[in-house]
Amino acid sequence: MPSERIVTRRVTTPDALQRAADEPAAEVFDKLSVYHHEQVSYWFDPECGYRGIIAIHNTALGPALGGTRFWHYDTDDDALRDVLRLARGMTYKAAMAGLDLGGGKSVVIGDHCTKKREAIFRAHGRHVESLAGRYITAEDVGTSPSDMEWVRKETSHVFGLVGGFGDPSPVTAFGTFRGMQACAKVRYGSDSLTGKTVAVQGVGHVGYYLCKHLHEEGAKLIVTDIDDDKVKRVVDEFGAASVAPDEIHGVAADVFAPCALGAVINDDTLKVLKVSIVAGAANNQLHRERHGDALNEMGITYAPDYVINSGGLINVNAEIEGWNLEWAHDKAGEIYDTILRVLAIAGEQKIPSYRAADHLAEQRVSQAERSRGLPHRI
């Protein structure tokens, strides 16, 4: 692993070269220094319009693994900020899940509903291949196993394929459910969620399967999503109540389960939360670290997102190693014990749960850095 923090980019037109020359490089490197990333790669393909960023945060434990997110960002700076945060989260997620993997992430900037997917994802595959195995990708928000098949045409460093383990959402949802049960054990003295009211924000793949587990457990569901068809499916199948997307944060419930995009715990939502537990599958739920401090001060039990939602990473790791889905399911079930450990440390040391999780993850990565004689980064 190189000791420098590197920004690599591939630009192939005069306009793109000029934009790259005009961009204040110091601003990019400043962003990398915040979370100690090893490498960020920009790639532009003018023929198909592919615009992608791959961030590698840390490879002390192994190659960086992280899905490909296809999303329309308001600005390129928003895309960079998102991929940097997500890559860092993957390092911590792998460390807390006990996997020999580092953290990375990629974003494809554009309309994730486009039908012209082959050229875009083959370009992305070439981008992944250029990193020579330091980064392994899979599906994420806005992408699918079918998209990963196009990526595989250009690189072997991709999983979550059609015919493989495919959609990791069921494993992610099961791990999230078990983590929620662990929170209930600490909060209520019993891990049963029977009769508890759970407000689920986002009922896409993971949210749907989480609702299924909660319904089977006997929990009461209040759900929302920007897609009315997804809401209707959960209402019809599981007897859930529904509210508008901007109302979910303020409903009276026992548990709030964010299962959509990040930064949902923020100055505005903290003012209206009426729950005792926050435990969901979304990444980067805290808009700022101080919002995790605020949850702690409010007496709300918080399951750190990268701990409770690591089932998807576990699922992909099982595919990489040639293990079966039963192993992935059982490993995701261990999230229950990990959440209990995090909350116990938080209670003993009187610190917010996200800080307790960070300390545990950083200890494991630091040990790997020392054992391999690598520069201390994390």
When computed from its CA atoms, the radius of gyration of the chain, rounded to whole angstroms, is 20
Contact by Cβ (8 Å): 182, 343: yes
Helix (H, G, I), strand (E, B) or coil at 267: helix
Contact by Cβ (8 Å): 5, 25: no
- Please name which of 193, 191, 189, 184 lies closest in space to residue 212, comparing C-alpha atoms: 193
Q: Which of 31, 93, 105, 115 is catalytic?
A: 105
Please indicate whether residue 105 is annotated as part of the active site.
yes
* Cα-based distances in Å from 215 to 177, 184, 223, 296: 11, 16, 12, 28
Helix (H, G, I), strand (E, B) or coil at 236: helix
Determine the number of helices (DSSP H) and then strands (DSSP E) in the chain.
15, 13
Query: Three-class SS string for 167-197?
Result: CCHHHHHHHHHHHHHHHHHHHHCCCCCCCCE
- Please name which of 114, 127, 150 lies closest in space to residue 53, comparing C-alpha atoms: 127
Q: How many whole angstroms separate alpha carbon 93 and alpha carbon 95?
A: 5
Residues acting as catalytic residues: 105
